[in-house]
Structure 1
Amino acid sequence: MTSIDANVGITDQIEIPGVSPRLINEDLRPAHARKWGTYSLFAMWMSDIHSIGGYTFAAGLFALGLGATWVFGSLVIGIALVFLLMNLSGWAGQKYGIPYPVLARISFGTLGSNVPALIRALVAIAWYGIQTWLASRAVIILSVKVFPGLGALTHNNILGESTLGWIAFVTMWALQLLLLRNGMETIRKFQDWAGPAVWVVMIMLAIYIIVQAGGHISLTLPGATPKWGMTHAFFAAIALTVAYFSTLMLNFCDFSRFAPTKKSVFKANFWGLPVNFIAFSILSVIVTAGSFAVYGEHIYDPVELVGRIDNVFVLILGALTFAIATLGINVVANFVSPAYDLANMWPSKIDFKRGGLISAVIALVMTPWNLFNNPIVVNIFLGAVGAMLGPLFGIIMADYYVLRKQRVVLGDLFRDQGYYTYTKGWNRKAIVSFLITSIPTIIVALVPAFAVLAPFSWFIGAALAFAAHYLISRHDTSIADSVRMAIQVEEGYSLDDHENLTQASANAGQYR
């Protein structure tokens, strides 16, 4: 085998003897090519944060009744927690080169992993369609401004959307499919320039607003009176900041698996999360506050703000930028995950590209504007499914870091008989932990009587599941046996000898 470096081909893979075709394909097996260095992961975070949702998030915290100092403090604490938790997920993927559904096999079993994988996929596909539709709004604004005659195509209704709306949506939908051409490598190249490009345009937009406002901008945005007091609102803002990143906390290993070192993951997360997120949030608040001085009202939607600029060049640039920004977060948060998750269901028939295509088709046929415009569906269905993400994170982290102490027999993740087969491929203890902690988490998230706790539902779910899984599984002899086997393998290799250690771990356990 060749050494792992930036020049290794994407098809070079870790060899694993005795694997089952129903558990492995070229996309799920441990990554050998490690091309996602510090910059690529940093650019990935820029693409994730530099979106319409990221733009409005900080300004939206003022609605909790917090002042500027309190909002800034909550953002700093919240993103610091995200940084720490994201490293936990990222380091697991980086060490063994495995994506999220394969990581989930450690705790849920080789077949049971489809439960956390499909829950994550369901959330991702729904938001994939919604984000694609939101991106198409920018295309419509741009099209009508440049070609006013196209406005006539916005007055009809075909399954809830106009003709121009359909054209714009399908256009954005198709553009994202182009990223499937070379799988993750094309996605990496797209992210490397998309995130920084949005930064440039956002800075230009901020300068424009500041100049138009004559430099007179008040950073005090309108907000409500805190319903349960300032302290509750402050901690709610921290919790919401963490919850905003909760989906990627589960599947960040889909990206970090391609990182060459643990240090590169840490550095990319530091610059991409605390530094970049705080800077972008401050910039978005400045622009939102400045919109009041220029237009007499606070405009929280950057697409609407760009649409009010009476300059065709700026309009085109702004609309294209926010369309690209939405594509960026959609690819990071909502495209990669279901592609891997669906591949995990049927590895011999579904690879990463087919999984992505299936996700895109589902997102198309579900007409996401009807989903988004139905508060019952969005708030109850997606809210309930989203509430399950905390328990999943708690179980996976408790199992990997506490029960197994980061010791895994890699090859058994892809074998019909091994340490992670449990009972016919299912770890019933993890399933029980998930069920008993998901129910109270969903109740807290959705039942009005528990509204005071709703912002903290992710933390509640993660903590309950972490504790439950640890208590239920701490005396599991199969876990102890797998840890002993993994230690025997790792004792013969330096942890810096990444390639040989990974290969030995892949071979281990075959002849038990």
Structure 2
Amino acid sequence: MSFSSIVSKFLRYLEIPAKNRTAVNFLRNPDLQPIKSENQTWGFWSNLAYWGAVSFTAGTWMSGSAALSVGLSYPETIVSFLLGNVLTIIFTMANSYPGYDWKIGFTLAQRFVFGIYGSAFGIIIRILMSIVNYGSNAWLGGLSINMILDSWSHHYLHLPNTLSPSVAMTTKQLVGFIIFHVLTALCYFMKPYHMNYLLIWSCVATCFAMLGIVIYLTKNAHGVGELFTSTKSTVTGSKRAWAWVYMISYWFGSISPGSTNQSDYSRFGSSNLAIWTGSVCAILIPATLVPIFGVISASTCDKLYGKQFWMPMDIFDYWLTNNYSAGARAGAFFCGLCFTMSQMSSTISNCGFATGMDMAGLLPKYVDIKRGALFCACISWACLPWNFYNSSSTFLTVMSSFGVVMTPIIAVMICDNFLIRKRQYSITNAFILKGEYYFTKGVNWRAIVAWVCGMAPGLPGIAWEVNNNYFHDSGIVKFFMVILSSPF
């Protein structure tokens, strides 16, 4: 048997069963078509929980630590986060209309903007972003799993590390990481429009867990701590103003990838009012409060224990290590369960299912949403996410700068929708190869050029984020800070 015949046989084996698909090309398949009315069930609480799941996570809790490197006081940082959330609301809701109006997702909407073939451009960029974010979220989820296991066994709490010292993780962290991946993979057997119940319950549970941690710490510290109340800006004048701009852009850039695929989930909405009110409340309230919780916890821990713990997992590890009591174990178990749920919800909705939807649009003959999500989970290991948190890697800082790449895509989509098309699209032509959206050989080069013009000026800023010594041109750096959140 020849090599080509072996490959052909293998590809036939990988094909989605014919009963589960209606097309063998990327023009038309069930995952691309508008959502049926019976599946448009997401009301206020479901839409609030979708964005709430992004906020009620350990990553958002830790985000206040960025203030230390910028020089703003903690109260100033909180206000800058609030302004960043307002900016996020504007971009997110403006980018929701393909889902509002036509009940279609990000994948099909890309054809309107970049063309039938050119749509692969924006889709692939988002797939790559989702894979990296998946690894980062899964690592924090693994640490949450360890909170549960630590509460069950004193021996597991002090599990010896059998991995090489050159590996930036321990045996215990690897165990939690694997368990989290397995539990998350099971969730991909449900339909995306059914995950709203998981999102709602995870938000409710994690909200109470976070409140419990903050209340306990502030009660024992008799306040929020001097670090929170007495911290002053270490920069003045124009440097202080630019620090404000940077923090707003940093926060917006951190969550802008979620704004990109807003139409993937706004199409599940039962009404436009539910989508608007739920999304706005979630972005404005939890996304502002959770970083405040993180700052307060670090401030109170500094007063109580002489250490600033930014990760909630580190707080419980300290408690269990110093006092393995029934109360500490119960707190670690229930809070660990809540944080695990929140990390799973965020990972599934913003990374797993998002990748599955995109890959199902590109390769429907071989990939459906479930397979695409599982592919994202598997390939996320290649990102080595343990290096993001356990080494001196600048990757997390650079990740926040990827708004330079993502927000121009959002800007092009918004301009095309409101200024060029006036919210009028031909859905039928999106499924025709040489129809209205074929443009030039299947690619809308004008949209590509617009994206490049919006992105290219900010690329030197990403290099500066990696190493501040690359250059000392303050004009380029300031331009990067502005363009990060203003690609129009």
| TM-score where L is the length of structure 1 | 0.80
**Structure 2 residue 271 is the aligned partner of structure 1 residue 261:** yes
Amino acid at match of 2:181: W
Native 8 Å contact 2:316 2:332 kept in 1: yes
Q: How does 1:16-415 map to 2 (within 5 A)?
A: 21-32=25-36, 33-144=39-150, 146-150=152-156, 151-157=158-164, 160=167, 161-215=169-223, 217-218=225-226, 219-220=228-229, 225-226=234-235, 229-309=239-319, 310=323, 311-370=328-387, 378=395, 387-415=404-432
Superposition deviation, residue 88 in structure 1: 0.6
Whether the 8 Å CA contact 2:250–2:401 is kept in 1: the answer is no
Give the whole-Å Cα distance in 2 for the aligned partners of 1:124 and 1:83.
Answer: 20
Deviation at 1:115, TM superposition (A): 0.8
- 1:501 maps to none
Query: Which residue identity does 2:316 align to in structure 1?
Result: V
Deviation readout 1:331-372 (Å, 9 max, x if unpaired):
232222211121121123322111111111211355432566
CA contact (8 A) 1:213 1:294 kept: yes
Letter in 1 for 2:280: F
- Are the equivalent residues in 1 in contact too, given 2:254–2:401 (CA < 8 A)? no
Contact in 1 for aligned 2:252/2:403 (Cα 8 Å) = no
Q: Secondary structure of 1:419's partner?
A: coil
Q: After alignment, is 323-332 or 453-462 more displaced?
A: 453-462
Q: Which moved more, 1:169-178 or 1:138-147?
A: 138-147
Please say if residues 71 and 235 of structure 2, whose CA atoms lie closer than 8 Å, have aligned partners that are also in contact: yes
Q: List per-residue Cα deviations over 1:147-166 (Å, max 9, x = no partner).
A: 23334452324993544333
Q: Alignment partner of 1:439: what SS?
A: helix
The alignment partner of 2:285 has SS state of helix
451 and 313 in structure 1: CA distance in 2 versus 1, 3 angstrom threshold:
farther
Q: Percent identity?
A: 21
Structure 1 residue 28 displacement after superposition:
1.6
Q: 2:435 is aligned with what amino acid?
A: G
SS of equivalent to 2:425: coil
Name the CA shift for 1:461/1:168 in 2 (closer, same or farther; >3 Å): closer
1:458, CA displacement in angstroms? 7.5
Give the unaligned 5+ runs of structure 2.
1-21
Distance 1:252 1:220 in 2: 37
Amino acid at match of 2:34: P
Aligned residue number for residue 13 of structure 2: none
Displacement of 1:173 in angstroms is 0.5
CA distance in 2, matches of 1:371, 1:73: 27
Tell me if structure 2 keeps the 8 A contact 1:391–1:461: no
Please tell me the residue identity of whatever aligns with 2:234: T
Partner Cα distance (2:432, 2:281) in 1 = 38
Runs of 5+ consecutive residues of structure 1 not aligned to the other structure = 1-17, 467-512
Q: In 2, Cα distance between the equivalents of 1:400 and 1:461? A: 22
- Relative to 1, partners in 2 of residues 1:463 and 1:319: Cα closer, same or farther, differing over 3 Å? closer
Q: Provide closer, same or farther for how the CA distance between residues 155 and 21 of structure 1 changes in structure 2, counting only shifts above 3 A.
A: closer
* 2:241 partner amino acid: T
* Partner Cα separation in structure 2 for residue 284 and residue 381 of structure 1: 21
- Separation in 2, partners of 1:452, 1:221: 32
Offset of 1:433 from its aligned partner? 2.4
Deviations 1:351-401 (A, max 9, x none): 211111111121135543256667678379857865311221221111111
Aligned residues: 448
Amino acid of the structure 2 residue aligned with 1:401: F
Answer yes or no: is the 8 Å Cα contact 1:38–1:267 preserved in 2.
yes
Q: What is the Cα deviation at residue 462 of structure 1?
A: 6.7
Please point out which of 423, 440, 445 is paired with 2:457: 440
Distance 1:454-1:346 versus aligned 2 partners, 3 A rule: farther
CA distance in 1, matches of 2:300, 2:165: 38
With over 3 angstroms needed to count, the CA separation of the structure-2 counterparts of 1:92 and 1:451, relative to structure 1, is: farther
Cα contact 1:19–1:411 (8 A) shared by 2: no
Structure-1 separation of matches of 2:447 and 2:293: 43
CA distance in 1, matches of 2:91, 2:373: 27
Query: The residue matched to 1:140 in structure 2 has which SS?
Result: helix
Shift of 1:261: 2.0
The amino acid of 1:120's aligned partner reads R
- Take 2:296 and 2:339, find their aligned partners in 1: how far apart are those partners? 17
Root mean square deviation of aligned Cα: 2.8
Give the partner amino acid of 1:184.
P
TM score, norm. by length of structure 2: 0.83
Find the aligned partners of 2:127 and 2:76 in 1 and give their Cα distance: 35
CA change 1:381–1:298 in 2 (3 A) is: closer
Corresponding residue SS for 2:116: coil
Query: Secondary structure at the residue paired with 1:154?
Result: coil
CA contact (8 A) 2:95 2:413 kept: no
User: 1 CA distance for matches of 2:110 and 2:478?
Assistant: 26
